[in-house]
Chain A
Amino acid sequence: MDTTLALPTGVEVARLRHELRDFYEEIADLLDDDRIEDFPAHFTDDCLYKVTSRENFREGLQAGMMYCDGIGMLRDRVLALRETQVYEPRMWRHFVSGVKILAVNGDTVRTRSNFLVTESMSDANPAIFLVGQYLDLAVRRGDRWLFRERIAVCDNHHVRRSLIVPV
């Protein structure tokens, strides 16, 4: 989507920002609450979901930590996480801030926001795990929003240990 499109009026932008902030917090809540099965339902069938590093993003390199083109791959992430993967149990919390509307085209909105994810092991205090930006393309479907694209670009130079659930 062309990001140079003029934005609608300030009132309309404020309303969109309010709606999308609610949407992003709903996603953060389902991740924190271990309702990962509900995650793919918030994406379009032709979605692109990626978790990558600033290093890759800056150079336009396509590989990431998670790379899902199409909702099938997103569902497979959930399946693998629940059915095959082995990891030390821990808790995460997602904090989303600075939601900014970059462009609007009909029912499609391009946004940028900040995220911070903390991680807590059962025998250690929480620590900052990932910090970065969400670059989203959200589309309105009736009275709800879906991601056509969600690229989580991590500022981290490296991931400490493992990335287990989507960001």
Chain B
Amino acid sequence: MGKTLEAEGARVWPQEGWTRVPYWIYTDPDIYQRELDTFFYGPTWNYVALDCEVPEPGSYKRSWIGERQVVVVRGKEGAIHVWENRCAHRGARVCWQNKGKVDSFTCPYHQWNFALDGKLQGVPLKRGVLGKGGMPADFDNSQHGLKALRVHAEGGSIWASFDENAPSFADYCGPDMHGYVQRLFKGRSLKLLGYNRQLIDSNWKIYIENLKDPYHATLLHSFLITFGLWRADTQSESVPTEGGKHGIMISRNVGKKTGSSGTGEIKRLKNALELADMDTVTPQREFDDGKVVGLSLFPSVVLHQQANTLGMRHIIPKGPGSFELCWTYYGYADEEPSLTRLRLRHANLYGPAGFVAMEDGEVLVECQQGTSAYGHRQAVLEMGGRETEPQDHMVTEVLIRAFYKWYRQEMGL
């Protein structure tokens, strides 16, 4: 019997194209490394922090791009710097705390001292001791600073790129995505409300898919439907942008409707249920367009606006089969305390214990466990047809199809 392609380890995409996703893309270490190099370390823009997390000169925060740790620092003049957390000397991490405020950074190993912008300021024993040792006379500090990344600040959100050749942030986003990013980040001062961190044992792309999959939301998340936060018949849009790289999901907070045909087939739906505290499911309208928008800005983040929560869902890969999902919740500095309180209450829907998001963590791990030993099998994505054009409803997998159409081009698969 001849060897199958699978037996030889060949990575051949199923001939049906983007309506199929082979399961080996969730486990293959070579594919994973290529994704890190192509996307996270390539000519892309990655979310790293919110402006309000580093409020004063010297304030810093450790963050991640892919598996690489970086430090986000506000410089003396107020500009933001992002550099690799890796001493220019021997590679030890220079910054050992997640957050803080300093005048400069000193690597504990040999006490090389760096300015807030990463420039090398001092090397102990540079001239040696009693005429012995020391650096060569031509050792140039200016050539040995911490490796700085390109930085873009967009109205309170901070983005970075390892690649000098990345397009501008606006061009990378494209006009639709950029418009929606600016809708959240107009330059109004932000207020940090807190973090949730989850370690989810699934491939990071399964999370990308989850946020491009409105189809599941009306079925898996019966909390949303039971309490009227989302329904399959809600006026909505699923818009792939930039060839499928990014995805925009638009919905509206509509309220509960009983006997809807859109929910009739959901067996777990319990119309009689009422919450004791209705605030949890009663959003206050806050954007003029009345929309609730989820932005999947490839590769590093989902910008989340659901009910009255605003959050950044930072995707931090930790190997082919695991990623950290860091939720950063924020509000606006000048908002009414009553709105902040609603944001805190609505945050119960999200994060590792979220009435809604908990279930995503669960199914992601189940997908990884289900697929990991079945790399030769494949997913089928035909809900809403087989094409990749934008659709004005949510009973569709169009965003995932469009994403894999784009992904295959970028990865040469």
B-contacting residues of A (Cβ < 8 Å)?
A: 51-53, 55-56, 59, 61-73, 75-77, 79-80, 83-88, 157-164
Contacts and interface: CB of A to CB of B under 8 A. Distances in A.
Contact of B199 (A73, A83, A161): A161
A63 B358 contact: no
Contact of A59 (B99, B198, B268, B329): B99
A68 B270 CA distance: 23
B276 A86 contact: no
B345 A73 contact: yes
B344 interface: yes
A62 B198 contact: no
A86 B352 contact: no
Contact of B362 (A52, A62, A79, A88): A88
Contacts of B198: 158-162
A157 B197 contact: yes
Interface string B327-356: 001000000000000011101100111010
B273 A79 contact: yes
B226 to A, nearest CB: 6
A61 B52 CA distance: 13
Nearest to B357: A162
Given A79-B276, A159-B198, 10 more contacts: A53-B197, A63-B343, A65-B352, A67-B347, A67-B348, A75-B276, A76-B275, A77-B348, A79-B273, A158-B326
Contacts of A56: 194-195
Contacts of A158: 197-199, 324, 326, 352
A108 B74 CA distance: 44
A82 to B, nearest CB: 10
A70 B344 CA distance: 13
Contact of B352 (A72, A77, A84, A159): A159
Contacts of B366: 88
A63 B347 contact: yes
13 contacts: A55-B98, A55-B195, A55-B197, A66-B348, A68-B348, A72-B277, A76-B275, A79-B273, A80-B355, A158-B197, A158-B326, A161-B201, A162-B362
Contacts, number: 125
A161 B353 contact: no
Nearest to A64: B194
Question: Chain B: interface secondary structure?
Answer: mixed
Contacts of B359: 85-87
Nearest to A70: B277
A85 B200 contact: no
A125 to B, nearest CB: 15
A65 B196 contact: yes
A72 B344 CA distance: 15
A161 B361 contact: yes
Nearest to A165: B353
B353 A61 contact: no
B220 interface: yes
A160 B324 CA distance: 9
Contacts of B193: 61-63
A83 B270 contact: yes
B192 interface: yes
B223 interface: yes
Contact of B226 (A52, A73, A84, A160): A84
B277 A76 contact: yes
Contact of B353 (A73, A83, A164): A164
A161 B343 CA distance: 23
B121 interface: no
B326 to A, nearest CB: 8
B195 A61 contact: yes
Contact of B344 (A53, A62, A86): A62
Give the most central of A157, A162, A163: most B CB within 10 Å. Answer: A162
Contact of A162 (B99, B329, B348, B358): B358
Nearest to B193: A63
Contact of B268 (A52, A73, A84): A84
A52 B329 CA distance: 13
A164 B270 CA distance: 20
A163 B361 CA distance: 10
Contacts of B344: 62-63, 67
A84 B270 contact: yes
B199 A72 contact: no
